[in-house]
A and B are shown apart, each in its own frame.
Chain A
Amino acid sequence: MKLERGYFRITDLAFADKTGLEKGIFKVNKKELIERLLAEDENHLIKTLDLEIVKPGEDARIVHILDTLSVGLKIEGEGLFMPGNLCDPVIVGEGKTLLVENLAVMECAELPWAGKSALLYPRDAIVDMTGPAAGYSPFSETFNLILKMEMVTGASDVEYDNAVRSAGIRASRYLAEVLRALTPERSEIFDFSKPVDPALKKIAYVIQCQNQGTYSNTFLYGHEVSNIVPIRLSPTEVLDGCLVSGNYVWPCFKVPSFIYSNMPAVLELSRGHGRDWNFVGVVFDRGHNNSHFEKQRVANLAANQTRLMGAEGVIISWEGGGNAATDAMLTLQRCEAWGIKAVPYTFEFGGPDGTEGILLVDDVPEAKYVVSTGSIEKPITLPMVKRVAGGDCLRLRKETGGAPEPAEVERTLDVITALYCGANQSGIGKLAGVPY
């Protein structure tokens, strides 16, 4: 497959009478977009919808973040960006796609907590645009168009999930339409159709997503993947948005749709394909399988996909915390048993100073090299901010039923789990290790 990605980079985002992109400024007709999103909300589940703009460097905090999406438009090749979502599940990854690389659409809403398990409920996710917590999220550096939604009461979780996800996708498509007439500032070509030097090392990338039910699902071509067996994807399908997130649980570990379509390892492996190595493709599966048998089965099938692709080296990333580590480590172990070198990304525990107790949820002796995406157990103090977007409060404590707490005030968090993308294993992030 061959995909060209054309990029725009904006210098500002503003509301205006007409939606368009001119001289680096992305303008949005607020009234038109709100009316359209409400009109297309077919079951009338969104009670109120407001749009807010939050910019890099602003003294602002975004709360209640559910998912964040790229603004992308396919102008050549089959299918739409984010295929299968409000459109046919046409296989993408060929042709040409335009993207605004630093513009993000954010779905923000309070979804119900009542009746949820102690682990899997729509947790409050936070982005600080400046200050000590800003570096934990890539979205402190993007221009964010926020869909601040209030939902009607009495609907089911499946309906709420569908309504917020659809609104985000519709908003992204509405904005992307302005790119059709424009020429991107730069572009890059990912060509997997040409033969490459047989001496180059063959590398595969395993993406293990989270999919444990409504509010913690991932959508492949528009459908959640609870029963998926590991499958092979072209890197260009991933970059064209074939994976969309409906994961609203642990904020620090989740992989938003925006990141899926800009997956760091997919991009870097694609950039070096045919020059530094032979990127033989992506294997996609899900973790958190229920039993040891199911974990072994999926891990073995995923490892076998990489073997059938001829991989000599494998990078593994997984979404979510807890027992997903086991599915991934078993995959790594099976790869190594077949002589395929494998390296995972993982978060760490370690207490406040990073050395306490057991550092990983699970590991295997074969995991000799591990890339850390940071500790989740470092306390952090969020400063007072001038402005709060996405909602009016924070919901941080399940034991109170999610009683609203003030969002703008200074607050010390014992762990960083509420920071959006704060330790996620996609490899995105700005944290670095230093010797001491």
Chain B
Amino acid sequence: MSTMQKEAERAGIPAALITAIPSVAKSVGVSRIITGGGIPYPAGDPNLPADREFEFRKRLVEKALEAITAQVQEPTVFHVTLA
């Protein structure tokens, strides 16, 4: 996943990675990193009630959109608060 993000960026397409392990993404040089839910569910959190999970997922996507429009010089982690 990290390699896909890096290759997209190299081709000139801004890309953000939603991952449960931002430290790994950071060490391999992913430029835009969103801290996601958990390893089995990076883009959500099934432990939350459905309406709150929906809100959390929405915030993850919104943060990812923010990340791909931001100017970043180095691997940068964007955090989302639980809904």
Contact = CB atoms under 8 A, between A and B. Distances in A.
Interface string A293-333: 01100000000000000000000000000010010011000
Which of A292, A330, A364 has the most C-beta atoms of chain B within 10 angstroms of its own C-beta? A292
B21 A292 contact: yes
A50 interface: no
A101 interface: no
Nearest to B26: A362
A363 interface: yes
B22 A292 contact: yes
B21 A323 contact: yes
A358 interface: yes
Contact of A362 (B23, B37, B39, B40): B23
Contacts of B28: 358
Nearest to B25: A362
A362 B27 contact: yes
In which size bucket is the chain B interface? Answer: 10 to 19
Contacts of A290: 20, 38-40
B44 to A, nearest CB: 11
Contacts of B40: 290
A362 B24 contact: yes
Nearest to A295: B21
Interface in B41-75: none
Interface in A381-399: none
A292 B23 CA distance: 9
Interface of A: 288, 290-292, 294-295, 323, 326, 329-330, 358, 361-364
13 contacts: A288-B39, A290-B20, A292-B20, A292-B21, A292-B35, A326-B23, A326-B24, A329-B23, A358-B27, A358-B28, A361-B24, A363-B27, A364-B23
Interface of B: 20-24, 27-28, 35-40
Enumerate the 3 nearest inter-chain pairs by beta-carbon distance, A residue then B residue, closest first: A290-B38, A291-B38, A362-B24
